Amino acid sequence: NAGVTQTPKFQVLKTGQSMTLQCAQDMNHEYMSWYRQDPGMGLRLIHYSVGAGITDQGEVPNGYNVSRSTTEDFPLRLLSAAPSQTSVYFCASSYSGAGGGYNSPLHFGNGTRLTVT
Amino acid sequence: QKEVEQDPGPLSVPEGAIVSLNCTYSNSAFQYFMWYRQYSRKGPELLMYTYSSGNKEDGRFTAQVDKSSKYISLFIRDSQPSDSATYLCAMCPYNQGGKLIFGQGTELSVKP
- The residue length of chain A stands at 117
Contact A98 B105 (CB under 8 A): no
Distance from C-alpha of A1 to C-alpha of A17, rounded to nearest angstrom: 34
Q: Are A35 and B98 in contact (CB under 8 A)?
A: no
Q: Is the pLDDT of residue A1 over 80?
A: no
Mutate which: A37, A68, A104, vs B, most B CBs within 10 A: A37
Cis amide prior to B10 (ω within 30 degrees):
yes
Which of B8, B32, B88 has the CB atom closest to A100's CB atom?
B32
Q: What percent of chain A has pLDDT over 90?
A: 78
Contacts of A98 (CB under 8 A, 6+ apart): A104, B95, B96, B97, B98
A74 contacts chain B (CB < 8 A): no
Cβ contact, residue pair B43, A4, below 8 Å: yes
CB-CB under 8 Å, B45 with A108: yes
So what's the pLDDT on residue A97?
A: 62
Q: How confident is the model at residue A94 (pLDDT cuts 50, 70, 90)?
A: confident
The tally of CA atoms less than 13 A away on the side-chain side of residue B18 is: 5
| pLDDT for A98 beyond 90 | no
**Amino acid identity for residue A46 in this structure:** I
| DSSP 8-state assignment for residue B38 | E
Nearest chain B residue to A51 by CA distance is B98
**Closest CA in chain B for residue A98:** B95
Distance of CA B90 to the CA centre of its chain: 7
- Using an 8 Å Cβ cutoff, are A31 and A94 in contact? yes
Nearest CA in chain A to B4: A42
Q: What is the pLDDT of residue A40?
A: 81
* Per-residue pLDDT in tens (0 to 9) along chain B, 112 residues: 789 999 878 999 999 999 999 999 999 988 889 999 999 999 999 999 888 889 999 999 999 999 999 999 999 999 999 999 999 999 888 766 667 889 999 999 999 9
Tens of pLDDT, residues A24-64: 999 999 899 999 999 888 899 999 998 899 999 998 999 99
pLDDT above 70 for A66? yes
- Return the minimum-mean-pLDDT range out of A10-14, A104-108, B87-91: A104-108
